[in-house]
Amino acid sequence: MQNDEKMGKDIKEILIDQLTISETVKSLGKQITEDYKEKELVVVGILKGAIIFLSDLIREIDVSLTLDFIAVSSYGSATESSGVVMFLKDLEVDIENRHVLIVEDIVDTGLTFNYLLENLKSRRPASIKTCSLLDKPSRRQVEIRIDYKGLEIPDEFVVGYGLDYSEYYRNLPYVAVLKK
Ligand code: IMP
Ligand code: MG
């Protein structure tokens, strides 16, 4: 628990504890399982933030699926996204005629997710749906449908469970607000 002690100093408050996260993930997995019962799924994770959520989520999904990843960088500061998105890593599989589920850690302005969604739609998947663990609706700049939404949070910058501040804190097992 040395890490917890070290990082605990930077934490203002725990916003979402481990139990709440795991209940949320289970419930999302159940819904997705229901909806894709007879189908095959390509789950697309957005690196790096979504990996912790994704790895827990897919173990709650009881349908046949494959995994792929996209890495993007949105130009901007550490805490603000600009909406200009650059692909650092593209998909390895062809998603044409496949059922795609994009998994994101958090939708904030919505600019990143919107850009990715439009890009993937142009590759003619059979269907495409969106899943995000967290949603900050107060900051939205583009309307975006989150088909599988975990939890809404207030306008605070959060870290942990995959989410970072300048690449740190992804390994916290909960979602927390940082001290200023
Ligand atoms: P958007 O384009 O503003 O919706 O931003 C989406 C991306 O910004 C997410 O995938 C995160 O990587 C990052 N982000 C937005 N809000 C937070 C936050 O509170 N903590 C950590 N990363 C965030
Ligand atoms: Mg991210």
- 25-80, pLDDT tens digit by residue? 999 999 999 999 999 999 999 999 999 999 999 999 999 999 999 998 876 666 66
Half-sphere exposure at residue 67, Cβ-oriented, CA atoms within 13 angstroms: 13
The three-state secondary structure class of 54 is helix
Place of tokens 């804190």: 169
Dist. CA 17–CA 21, nearest whole Å: 6
User: Which residues does a 6 A CB cutoff place in the pocket of ligand 1?
Assistant: 49, 74, 81, 104-113, 157-159, 163
Report how far ligand 2's centroid is from the alpha carbon of 38 (Å).
30
- Does residue 55 contact residue 79 with C-beta atoms inside 8 Å? no
pLDDT tens per residue, range 87-109: 899 999 999 999 999 999 999 99
Residues forming beta bridges with residue 67, ordered by sequence position: 43
Contacts with 31 (C-beta within 8 Å, 6 or more apart), sequence order: 148
Angle (CA) 52 41 54, round 5°: 5
**Ligand 1 mutation pick, 105, 111, 157, 171, max ligand atoms within 8 A of CB:** 105
Give helix 18-35 / helix 51-58 axis angle, nearest 10°.
60
pTM of structure: 0.92
